[in-house]
Amino acid sequence: MALSRDGKPTQRPPASAPSPRSSLGGRGRTDAAKAPVVLVKWYDVVKWLLERVDSFPKNQRFVFGQRLADRAIDVLELLVEAAYSPRKADLLSRANRDIEVLRWLVRLAKDRDLFTMRQYGFACKGLTECGRMLGGWLKQSAAKEGTADAPTPPPF
């Protein structure tokens, strides 16, 4: 038994216990440090967005707020699947479309006064940052897989 700085005994977990950051007890890639950066950033966006949805008025929370929350969680699930899938382009393309829908839903929330301008700006910044990262990942994956799912620049 180890002692703390003030001389009181402290308990340590057994040596065979899994790391608190790993839900699989050391099997697989579950640490945030090994996850794609866009997945970690999207997790933060989703967490923030869910906290905002919880503060929506009751008449908006269960209709509009649920759509926002469901779409954001769907993107999170798609990113996790893509992180472990050998064929990423289709999953990333779906996530990219869902982020675009979320941009419009967030804009609608701001227009309905469910988000302040400051909250709207923060949400747009997170959506844009993750969207750019996702677009780069999609382009790279589509090139590796030889698919036409990669976003192409406008022809002008």
What residue ranges do the domains of the chain occupy?
Answer: 34-145
**pLDDT on residue 144:** 87
* Residue count (the chain): 156
**pLDDT on residue 145:** 82
Mean pLDDT, consecutive 10-residue stretches, the chain (156 aa), reads 59 46 43 79 96 93 92 96 92 96 96 95 96 94 74 59
**pLDDT on residue 15:** 45
Superfamily of domain 34-145: 23S rRNA-intervening sequence (1.20.1440.60)
Concatenated DSSP letters of 13-34: --TTSPPTT-TTTT-SS--TTT
**pLDDT on residue 132:** 96
Of 94, 89, 78, 87, whose CA–CA distance to 136 is shortest? Answer: 89
> pLDDT per residue over 50-78, tens digit each?
999 999 999 998 889 999 999 999 999 99
